[in-house]
Structure 1
Amino acid sequence: MAFRAPLLSPTPSTLTFSPSIRRIRPTNLPFSPTSSPNPSPTLNPTNPASISAQSASETPSSLLRSSTWPGPYPELDDHGLWGSWSSGIDEGGEKVDLSSFDLKSKVYYMAKSKGDKGMLPFLESVGLKLSSAMLIARYLSSQSLPEIIDKVTFVKEMLFSSSGSEVLTGRNAKRMMLHFSIHADEDIQSTLSFFEKMEARHGGLNMLGHENASFPYLIESFPRLLSRSKEKHLEPLVYFLEDSGIPKAEISAILLTFPPILLYDIERDLKPRMHALEKAGVEEKDIASMLMKYPWILSTSIQENYSEILAYFKGENCQKLAHILGCSTQKMKSIMEQFSGLGVTKKMLVPVITSSPQLLLRKPDEFLQVVSLLEEMGFDHRKIGRILCRCPEIFAASVDNTLKKKIEFLIKFGISSNHLPRIVRKYPELLLLDINNTLLPRMNYLMTIGLSRKEVCSMIYRFSPLLGYSIEVVMKPKLEFLLNTMKRPLKEIVEYPRYFSYSLDKKIKPRFWVLRNRNIECGLKDMLSKNDDGFAEEFMGIGRLLVVPSPVHKDSS
């Protein structure tokens, strides 16, 4: 049988490979299986040992990986092709007889004889495409294969040994893609290109912290990484980040979210940029926490931009503006013109952009479409400004594909169009909830417990945040306590749906047991709407409820 080019390691004793046995198509070879004997080396498919070292060395590696025999040709045995290599391998000026070597050793010497020092097959073995491996091998031509393997092992351990940070890594990467709206320098462009490659594969950026998924893309996007010295650069970098207050377990998330840090020189790049953050008002103890969330603040683009941000938001601490250090002040000024007409001040802009930086990428007419929709519902500019500050994501949503669909759904369910302004004003996030996964299941649940559609609409009108509560975590436990322990009728939650907003263990249960012990009957609103002082004064005759009473069970009463 023929063979697949194995995955190589640097020495015969440590080689690892995966021989996948395939056939070779003789018509693809640089010599013909039917050619007549001549002094030059030829291939006789019935006699594998006839392949000379010269012929084998001239055979493209791609043929060994993918070609197949046609029809009647007999298969070559696993080791048949290796016999001829013994005549063509030099080691220290002497011919090496490979006939007694095992297959791993023969693979090693084959790679060595082909002149690439085994670099190409090794790079392919870590997941790189052949074209990428050939390009990156040029960066590494001055280094030995053992050095590269040792470096790859170290980098993988540095980036992927910490478990539990995968979600954080993916979340931070998405945050960077959303928040960045200024001119991108080379480091930012390479990082975004890396993220785009990850986003295109199954699992997207959530796979950023998974070695097999992201390491090949990382090396493709930052080929100079493997040219850095392990002892003089990579190891000192890890120590420096730890000394800066970053927990070792968090270093991988920082480096995967902004890989150019792996290439930065400590003295020339990292220390001056961290010092610049201190000059901008960030305390030394807070730099580590900022880097864990926004490592791209060390990029040249942001270093040049945050002085403009600080000047635009005079008096604001740099740490409070960390979310928007990558945002364009020009775009802020443009969107601020729209905000000012809604009563939103520059100081109010910071949390708005922090919560929804994609607003900076909106065109003015797209923003005004949302404003017009809210105006049609009956909101004036002052109330629209309040909605903007509370839920800025609404103004980054599509009017036709998101907002109008939610409004149409609510009206179709039975909500009066006259009631919509109150519902949206009390809970604007409602317009962003998914119809099939959030709104409809909660409405259906309320109807399955015995409420009519009209009663559910009444509850939504009275307390629209109801539709944002979890059925299993919030609704069911509180409803069961109401019906089974408090012995209250369903109509009470129709009249006071805010009941679901109070903590079951911290408020509902303690107050119920106080009232029960004192044989006091009252509605849910009187029981729950008062603060602790008001409740204690009205139902206990004291100024403040100091101790939460224990429940009294029937067997102890």
Structure 2
Amino acid sequence: MQETLHLSSTTNALPKPNFPSNHLNFLPLSRPRNLHFPTLSSTNTSISFPPKSPQIPEIPSISSTPQHLPQNPQSDFQEKMLYLDSIGIDLLSLLTTHPPIVSASIADVKSIIEFLHSVGLTAPDLRRIFGMCPELLTSKISDLVPVFTFLLREAHVDGCDLRRVINRRPRLLTCSVEQRLRPTLYFLQSIGISEINRKTSLLSCSVEQKFIPRIDYLQKIGFSYRDTISMFRRFPPLFCYSIKENFEPKFDYFVVEMGRDLKELKEFPQYFSFSLENRIKPRHRHCVEKGVCLSLQVMLKSNEERFRGRLDVCCNSSLPSWKAAKAELKLEASSTDLLQP
């Protein structure tokens, strides 16, 4: 016999429906499972469902905006711009040189800046560093830690000098230890350049693209390999000068206009560090006008006042000009030694 469940048509909804056990018969498993659904006794009967339990969290629909979704890209960009502006960094200007900054998360940017702060770099330092190497803002701390470790342990930079080293050559932080810094260190050591901790700016240079071509050029213009290496040991910054814009015009002037011997360049490779138009040419002309021949070191290293004074000494001396200049240089060197503690 089919049992019918009669639902009351009352309008007062119960908080939880109460079905008495004698109103429902569950068929045993051995019987055929023919389920009979109850029929309503009246068309006016209504079913009132209990309210949802407050303990079940609301699951937002796809069309609605969840309350805890990450910030949208525009909001993240604005926060990033305000944060960088607070330490004096203009994000918009950096985007022109390194567009990937726009996709860097604010959390990653903060972590990089906080890490660099922790190693002693100040806000003015960071403004300069990011201006020169904006890609550092999108780097990872895991890439920076090996660089600092290398500088301290292998290049023997003192911890108190890290800030100076990074400020002088921010590009060090963008270099791979395995592919650039360590091979360059080994090359410099192999040709006899010591105290690398004082020449750390060279570590970011490529041996194949920067060092070897300059060694080849000096050999091509007449120096032996031994003399070439001696010049680089004497003045390592020589590795950083442009062949076309520095070496070639200055060497041509040295040979054609000044008529000097290669031996002078070997003894004073710092010649290439002086401006051709502002120092070398004017000083050489003054020497020619006075009929004086000064060594490269005497002619170029002194300031304008002392240079003029030396010219006068040579002109008024009975000694040959080059001997007078040499005596002047020795006198200056001995005076410097006496002043040292």
1:438 aligned residue: 210
1:322 aligned residue: 93
Q: How far did 1:352 drift?
A: 0.9
Q: Distance in 1 between matches of 2:144 and 2:258?
A: 48
1:377 aligned residue: 155
What CA deviation, in whole Å up to 9, does each residue of 1:454-487 have, x standing for no partner? 3323322333221222223321221122223222
2:307 aligned residue: 535
Q: Distance in 1 between matches of 2:110 and 2:177?
A: 23
Check the 8 A contact 1:475/1:500 in 2, yes or no: yes
Q: How far did 1:321 drift?
A: 7.3
2:175 aligned residue: 397
1:410 aligned residue: 188
Check the 8 A contact 2:81/2:90 in 1, yes or no: no
Q: Distance in 2 between matches of 1:328 and 1:536?
A: 60
1:421 aligned residue: 197
Q: Distance in 1 between matches of 2:249 and 2:283?
A: 16
Q: Distance in 2 between matches of 1:421 and 1:457?
A: 20
Q: Which of 337, 340, 355 does residue 132 from structure 2 map onto?
A: 355
Q: Distance in 2 between matches of 1:467 and 1:522?
A: 26
Runs of 4+ aligned residues of structure 1 deviating over 4 Å after TM superposition are 318-321, 324-329
Task: Please tell me whether residue 455 in structure 1 is matched to residue 232 in structure 2.
Answer: no
- Classify 1:475/1:540 alpha carbon distance in 2 versus 1 (closer, same or farther; 3 Å): same
Q: How far did 1:519 drift?
A: 2.1
Q: Distance in 1 between matches of 2:108 and 2:134?
A: 11
Q: How far did 1:494 drift?
A: 2.2
- Classify 1:483/1:358 alpha carbon distance in 2 versus 1 (closer, same or farther; 3 Å): same
Task: Please tell me whether residue 499 in structure 1 is matched to residue 271 in structure 2.
Answer: yes
Check the 8 A contact 2:268/2:296 in 1, yes or no: yes
2:112 aligned residue: 335
RMSD of equivalent CA atoms: 2.9
Letter in 1 for 2:199: I
- Classify 1:508/1:303 alpha carbon distance in 2 versus 1 (closer, same or farther; 3 Å): same
- Classify 1:339/1:387 alpha carbon distance in 2 versus 1 (closer, same or farther; 3 Å): same
Aligned length: 236
Q: How far did 1:309 drift?
A: 2.3
Q: TM-score, normalised by structure 2?
A: 0.60
1:519 aligned residue: 291
Letter in 2 for 1:461: R
SS at match of 2:93: helix
What CA deviation, in whole Å up to 9, does each residue of 1:118-166 have, x standing for no partner? xxxxxxxxxxxxxxxxxxxxxxxxxxxxxxxxxxxxxxxxxxxxxxxxx
Q: Distance in 1 between matches of 2:274 and 2:205?
A: 22
Letter in 2 for 1:400: E
1:305 aligned residue: 80
- Unaligned runs of at least 5 residues, structure 2: 1-70, 96-100, 314-341
Q: Distance in 1 between matches of 2:227 and 2:161?
A: 28
- Classify 1:530/1:302 alpha carbon distance in 2 versus 1 (closer, same or farther; 3 Å): farther
SS at match of 2:265: helix
Q: How far did 1:510 drift?
A: 1.2
What CA deviation, in whole Å up to 9, does each residue of 1:261-317 have, x standing for no partner? xxxxxxxxxxxxxxxxxxxxxxxxxxxxxxxxxxxxxx6653343222223x1xx4x
SS at match of 1:505: helix
- Classify 1:530/1:330 alpha carbon distance in 2 versus 1 (closer, same or farther; 3 Å): farther
SS at match of 2:199: helix
Q: Distance in 1 between matches of 2:91 and 2:235?
A: 33
Letter in 1 for 2:130: I
What CA deviation, in whole Å up to 9, does each residue of 1:351-396 have, x standing for no partner? 1122223323333343121112122222112322212112222112
- Unaligned runs of at least 5 residues, structure 1: 1-182, 186-298, 542-557
Letter in 2 for 1:422: R
Letter in 2 for 1:458: S
Pairing of 1:52-451 with structure 2 (within 5 A) = 185=73, 301-311=76-86, 313=87, 316=88, 322-323=93-94, 326=102, 330-375=107-152, 376-412=154-190, 414-416=191-193, 418-424=194-200, 428=201, 430-451=202-223
Q: TM-score, normalised by structure 1?
A: 0.38
- Taking only the aligned residue pairs, the percentage that are identical comes to 29
